[in-house]
Amino acid sequence: MQHYYFPVPEQPYLLWFQKPDESTEAFNTDHLGFRFTVSGDRRTSPGTYRGDGPVRLLAGSSSVFGVGASTDETTIASRLWTEYAPAEPWFAFGGQAFNSAQELVLLTLFHHMLPPVSEIVLFSGVNNLVVSRLPEEQQGVHGAHYQAEPPADDAVVPGPAERVQRASDRTAAHLRTWQALANAMGARLVFALQPLAPWVREEPSKEEKKLFAELDKASNFRSVHSDIVSMDVGRDYAAALEKRCQEIGVPFLNTTQLLAERATPKDWLFVDRVHMTDGGYDMVARILAEELELR
């Protein structure tokens, strides 16, 4: 994790994005800031692809970028292209810490550079719920983001039900535009809920338990967001998103539930409560390919 960092550089319209042309032991980005997807001796990205298409997009935020993956080869997009759905190249089309508005803006800014797209898997949901904690005056029309000012000490913190409602409403609003763009592109769009570790299982693996304990000493994530890290809230949020997806006509995939069904107590899935290990990303890639019948 030492090679992953936040905040990332400021970027017009997006607020921030990954550094272009960055090379570390863990990841590499193209001249636009997108992480490379790798399959064997081939690698590609939105900024370097020179084929005629079609390609597939894995869109979203930091889990799509692959925070926690040890190499470019072990991200979800790379595992899909290499092992589970290799028929067409996959782009890791995500920015770290993006909410659903930023994910959508990313597509509108770089749509003109994309070859034909056959599939869009929007792997998202967690960040909207996290920033839903901020006060109403910081939410605006399109939702709060991670660089918003900290709320005042006396600010009213919404409860879990209101946070679920806020986050699912924002996600659905932006998903309607994703659907319109996907239809215009001739691409199938699917929404897959990004898993949060406490939603997957009550008892983390022994490795996760040690990591979470250390992280809790340095971060206030658990104390600040204790009201949304329960399995009950995870189920409520998944149900709310599934309902909104049905209303819009976008297929919904509850990746959290599917991960819970497949993982064993010994599987080390997460490096923190949001981001995954190589094994965790591999399991998600396999779930996406099998459940969406990708080849």
Is position 3 within any domain? no
Residue 276 has pLDDT above 70, yes or no: yes
Question: Which pLDDT band holds residue 247 (cuts at 50, 70, 90)?
Answer: very high
Q: How many CB atoms lie within 10 A of CB 222?
A: 13
Across the chain, mean pLDDT equals: 92
d(C-alpha 170, C-alpha 145), whole Å: 12
How confident is the model at residue 140, as a pLDDT? 64
Q: What pLDDT score does 211 carry?
A: 94
Do 273 and 194 meet the contact criterion of CB atoms below 8 Å apart?
no
pLDDT tens digits, one per residue of 184-231: 999 999 999 999 999 999 999 999 999 999 998 887 666 566 788 899
Q: Are 115 and 52 in contact (CB under 8 A)?
A: yes
Query: What b/e readout covers 14-32, taking b as 16+ CB neighbours within 10 angstroms?
Result: bbbbbeeeeeeebbbbbeb
CA distance 175 to 170: 9
Q: How many CB atoms lie within 10 A of CB 169?
A: 14
Whichever domain contains 175, its CATH number is: 3.40.50.1110
pLDDT for position 148: 54
Determine, yes or no, domain membership for 212: yes
Res 137: pLDDT: 63
* 249, 292, 294 from 87: Cα distances, Å: 26, 14, 9
Share of the chain above pLDDT 90, in %: 79
Residue 150 binned pLDDT confidence (cut-offs 50, 70, 90): low
Residue 135 has pLDDT above 90, yes or no: no
Q: Is the pTM of this model over 0.75?
A: yes
Q: Give per-residue pLDDT as tens, 49-96.
A: 999 989 999 999 999 999 999 999 999 999 999 999 999 999 999 999
Under the banding of pLDDT at 50, 70 and 90, the label for residue 133 is: confident
Nearest CA to 233 out of 256, 258, 199 is that of 199
Q: Where residue 134 falls among pLDDT bands split at 50, 70, 90?
A: confident
Q: What is the pLDDT of residue 216?
A: 87
Q: How confident is the model at residue 163 (pLDDT cuts 50, 70, 90)?
A: very high
Residue 2 located in a structural domain: no
How many degrees, rounded to 5, is the angle at CA 263 between CA 259 and CA 265?
A: 140
More confident residue, 132 or 164: 164
- Residue 84 is predicted with a pLDDT of 99
Residue 226 lies in a domain: yes
Give dist(CA 107, CA 110) in Å, integer: 5
Percent of the chain at pLDDT > 70 equals: 88
Whether 150 is covered by a domain: the verdict is yes
Give the pLDDT band of residue 118 (cuts 50, 70, 90).
very high
Domain assignment present for 159: yes
Cα 96 to chain center, whole Å?
8
**Do residues 102 and 145 lie in contact, with contact meaning Cβ atoms separated by under 8 Å?**
yes
- Alpha helix ranges (H) inside the chain: 62-65, 76-79, 100-110, 126-131, 160-185, 197-200, 206-218, 221-224, 231-248, 255-262, 278-291
| Phi, psi dihedral angles at 121 (to 5 degrees) | -105, 110
Model confidence at 14, pLDDT cuts 50, 70, 90, reads very high
Give residue 152's pLDDT band: very low, low, confident or very high (50, 70, 90).
low
Residue that has been written with the tokens 């009550």 in this structure: 202
How far the first Cα of the chain sits from its last, in Å, is 31
Q: What's the pLDDT band for 11 if we cut at 50, 70, 90?
A: confident
5 within domain boundaries = no
In a domain, 96, yes or no: yes
**Residue with structure tokens 């901020």?**
134
Segments forming the whole domain that contains residue 249: 10-291
Positive or negative, the CA dihedral 181, 97, 292, 43 is: positive
Please give the tally of structural domains in the chain: 1
Q: How many CA atoms lie within 13 A of 121 on its CB side?
A: 28
CA angle 251, 256, 262 (to 5 degrees): 110
Cα–Cα–Cα angle for 71, 95, 44, rounded to 5 degrees: 50
Backbone angles phi, psi at 173, to 5 degrees: -60, -45
Confidence at residue 197, expressed as pLDDT on a 0 to 100 scale? 96
- How far is it, in rounded angstroms, from Cα 170 to Cα 107? 17
